[in-house]
Structure 1
Amino acid sequence: MTPRRLLVVTTASAEPELLRERVQRHAGEGSVEIKIVAPAADVSPLQWLASDEDQARGEAGEVAARSAEAVSGEGRVETEVGDTDPVQAIEDALRTFTADEVIVITREGDEASWLEQDAGAAARERFGVPVTHLTV
């Protein structure tokens, strides 16, 4: 049986139990392959214009590692730091990872960066796969 392929795009560290539960729910009964992409989205508009994203990339790497650790027992997991724009990061990931479903995790309300706002809705409109958006 072909494993279910989940693309998890997260700009925030979700509670490990929440992330594990969501992956289990969306994976179903069979095996699963998970690609975790952490966009370097925590940049100001000025930092974005100046391509000053080193700190955001470091933080995104930590988010990816913590997320991978949370779901490591669920199946094969790979991680990467993505583009500053979460929707662009999804597009980039889908070029090399054919996902059955995308799970987008962003921060809530005022905690979300300007690049995170509406990422879930934009992904639903733009890509031909089911998208679930969670806020933490």
Structure 2
Amino acid sequence: MPTLDDNHAGARIKEQRMLARLSRRELAARLPYSHSPLNQVECGARPATDAFVCAVAAALGIDAAVLQGLPQVPEVRRGRLAALLGPVREALDLYDLVQEPVTDRPVTALAAEADPRFTGSPSAT
């Protein structure tokens, strides 16, 4: 049954196609589908499958979420997120690890401290 409102994937496909300044036939030429299913989907006479939406999105060079009507993260929310992460980034930048002096140790001392599973000694089995 056709959808009577303009809030369906076909309406969003039509809108994005027109923004890309493509005719239906031009878009259909970029798809693995013919002109007829594209026309039916845009008019709301046929539902758009996920595969169809992904193919159209790829042909238009846009994210499939735009055509599916999924909510996008608005720029305002991104700005608020950046503002929240600012103090965390600053704290990490200012975090000072205690610098312990590096001393040279002989390989035998290092091997003695190593976990026996990694030294290849027979007692590890």
- TM-score, normalised on structure 2? 0.21
* Larger relative contact order (CA 8 Å, sep ≥ 6): 1
More helix by share: 2
- TM-score, normalised on structure 1? 0.20
Which has the higher Rg, Structure 1 or Structure 2? 2
